[in-house]
Amino acid sequence: MQKKYAVLFWMIFAVVSVMKLYYIGWGPLDLSPDEAQYWNWSRNLDICYYSKGPFIAYTIFFGTKLGELVAFNPPNPAFWTRFPAVLNSMLLGIIVWFLSYRLWKDYKIALWIVLILLAIPIYAVGSIIMTIDNPLMLFWALYIYVILLALESKNAKYWYISGVVLGLGFLSKYAMFILIPGTIVFLLTGRQHKEWLRRKEFYLSILIACLFAIPVLYWNMSHDWIGMKHLIGQAGLAKHAEAKQFFSPHLFEFVGTQMGVVSPIIFVFIIISFYKAWKLRSDYRYNLLFWMGVPVAVLYMLLSLHKECQANWTAPLYISGAILAGAIFQKNTFLKIGIVLGVSAWLLLFNIDFLPGIPQKYDPTLRLTGWKLLGEEVGGVKEEYQKDSPIFIFSDTYQIASELAFYTPEQPRTYNVNLGRRMNQYDIWGGFDKLTGNDGLYVKHRDQVIDPEIASAFSSWEKLPVVNIIKNGEIIHRYTIFLCREFKGIKGHGDESSY
């Protein structure tokens, strides 16, 4: 009887995996600006980057090199950049399946848990879009699984493995280290496992994880700690030091966005599940899942009291939440309805490009539309006007610069001029000092006039016809291209205190 649920899981797993691979290879969505930026990082491998650890760049590098090796190129050129996202999501599903079965010894419960995870829109989107949350969720789930193996087998080697997993997760996203205090509190509150706090293996696992942080710390030390300053800025701590009022109305907005990215019905059940897990914390399984998730919620709820928090920041929380909800409410009809609605929501999202009449303000795919067309247009202009010296391409935003680096024919190096924006990786790379005397194509979003700083940095310039990106008969984006002759040099005007 139990085996049929295992067979059903593997059937669903295979179908969904094929669907995702087909979508990233033959679907309509271009790379998002952040994906294009991370792809650009993968062309310039380093031990760390301005705002993130290096694992995302290594992952995309692996995907693109694999694509070159197998020489298979689907119509959508983003396929190999996104391939690791699908691969990681497949591994996440397998880990959650085995983790759930090991916890509850019931294939039916394990299947419901996987279906809940499948129905959460933020996981569905994160399984085809290559972001730092994608590998983070994989390592988060794997860490919980390895800790469970250590507890149940009492084999010390699993603690060492957990240190490696924790370190790899940190290289994906620094939030991975939230699991360290969560693990400590779990061991403190669990009578049968408190003994690990008196043994060296647990502390060595933390030491192993910290070894992975050394390259990140070294890179930051070599770059005036700009990554750490950025992290402090993201947390709102720098602004808070000068703020007159600590509280702001972001908490309710934060909770509202969580309901949206998780699916309202599933979100409610997950919240109730954490409450019930607290009541059942004498059972180490509930206690483990509680402390592997709740610290994330507490951290970002406190943060939302004085700054706006991104909806994806809490993504790892719902791994524990889904496992708890599936185990506690396995027979609940409303939760089953929530699963159906959740799956329907992301299926609709993936196919929104084929649905006419969707107002632009309600279409979340617009940020992933038109970049290939813009790259082709810029490439055509570059070829038409290029003389003896090559024309370089630059923009005033990292988003446009990154997308043009990927979608312009031959994928040239692009530049992001700093006219007062927040610092980013392009400022570290620099390169403008080597472009003196060359012509440039300056690309800006919308129909705009040229910036005075750019106009004075060239001997002459002219505004080319505006590029219109059209979807369903409506203009969704407009881009201005300026042909600039004989670059004389420019000094960055970025606010160095803005990270």
Taking only the tens place, the pLDDT of each residue in 117-153 is 999 999 999 999 999 999 999 999 999 999 999 999 9
Q: Is residue 496 part of a domain?
A: no
List the end-to-end C-alpha distance of the chain, in Å, as a whole number: 57
pTM (2 d.p.): 0.94
- Do residues 418 and 309 share a domain? no
- Do residues 282 and 375 share a domain? no
- Do residues 392 and 324 share a domain? no
Domain boundary among 300, 330, 360: 330
Question: Rounded CA gap, 81 and 60, in Å?
Answer: 5
Taking only the tens place, the pLDDT of each residue in 169-192 is 999 999 999 999 999 999 999 888
Q: Is residue 396 part of a domain?
A: yes
Which tokens in the block code for residue 193? 């496992």
* pLDDT for residue 244 is more than 50: no
Mean pLDDT of the 260-269 span: 92
Task: Quote the domain boundaries for residue 319.
Answer: 235-330
Residue 55 CA neighbour count, 13 Å, CB half: 24
- Do residues 310 and 397 share a domain? no
Taking only the tens place, the pLDDT of each residue in 302-319 is 888 877 888 888 999 999
- Do residues 325 and 402 share a domain? no
- Do residues 404 and 462 share a domain? yes
* pLDDT for residue 243 is more than 50: no
Question: Rounded CA gap, 78 and 64, in Å?
Answer: 9
- Do residues 382 and 301 share a domain? no
* pLDDT band, residue 232 (cuts 50/70/90): confident
Which tokens in the block code for residue 369? 């539309």
Q: Is residue 385 part of a domain?
A: yes
Site of tokens 């031990």: 47
Question: Rounded CA gap, 271 and 222, in Å?
Answer: 43
Q: What is residue 235's predicted lDDT score, i.e. its pLDDT?
A: 65
Taking only the tens place, the pLDDT of each residue in 328-376 is 998 899 999 999 998 988 888 777 766 666 777 778 888 999 999 999 9
Q: Is residue 432 part of a domain?
A: yes
* pLDDT for residue 495 is more than 60: no
Q: Rounded to the nearest 5°, which phi and psi values hold at 76?
A: -85, 115
Measuring CA to CA, which residue among 444, 438, 439 is closest to residue 479? 444
- Do residues 323 and 376 share a domain? no
Q: Is residue 321 part of a domain?
A: yes
Considering its fold, how many domains does the chain have in total?
2
Residue type, 221: M
Q: Is residue 417 part of a domain?
A: yes
Measuring CA to CA, which residue among 91, 200, 205 is closest to residue 140? 91
107 contacts 149 by C-beta, under 8 angstroms: no
HEC profile of the chain: CCHHHHHHHHHHHHHHHHHHHHHHHHCCCCCCHHHHHHHHHHCCCCCCCCCCCCHHHHHHHHHHHHHHHHCCCCCCCCHHHHHHHHHHHHHHHHHHHHHHHHHHCCHHHHHHHHHHHHHCHHHHHHCCCCCCHHHHHHHHHHHHHHHHHHHHHCCCHHHHHHHHHHHHHHHHCHHHHHHHHHHHHHHHHCHHHHHHHHCHHHHHHHHHHHHHHHHHHHHHHHCCCHHHHHHHHHCCHHHHCCCCCCCCCHHHHHHHHHHHHHCHHHHHHHHHHHHHHHHCCCCHHHHHHHHCCHHHHHHHHHHCCCCCCCHHHHCCHHHHHHHHHHHHCCCCHHHHHHHHHHHHHHHHHHCHHHCCCCCHHHCCCHHHCCHHHHHHHHHHHHHHHCCCCCEEEEECCHHHHHHHHHHCCCCCCEEECCCCCCCCHHHHHCCHHHCCCCEEEEEEECCCCCCHHHHHCEEEEEECCCEEEEECCEEEEEEEEEEEEEECCCCCCCCCCCC
- Do residues 374 and 478 share a domain? yes
Q: What is residue 221's predicted lDDT score, i.e. its pLDDT?
A: 95
Q: What is residue 190's predicted lDDT score, i.e. its pLDDT?
A: 84
Q: Rounded mean pLDDT of the chain?
A: 91
Mean pLDDT of the 262-266 span: 93
Q: Is residue 168 part of a domain?
A: no
- Do residues 318 and 380 share a domain? no
- Do residues 289 and 380 share a domain? no
Q: What is residue 183's predicted lDDT score, i.e. its pLDDT?
A: 97
Taking only the tens place, the pLDDT of each residue in 21-35 is 999 999 999 999 999
Q: What is residue 241's predicted lDDT score, i.e. its pLDDT?
A: 43
Q: Is residue 146 part of a domain?
A: no
- Do residues 374 and 316 share a domain? no
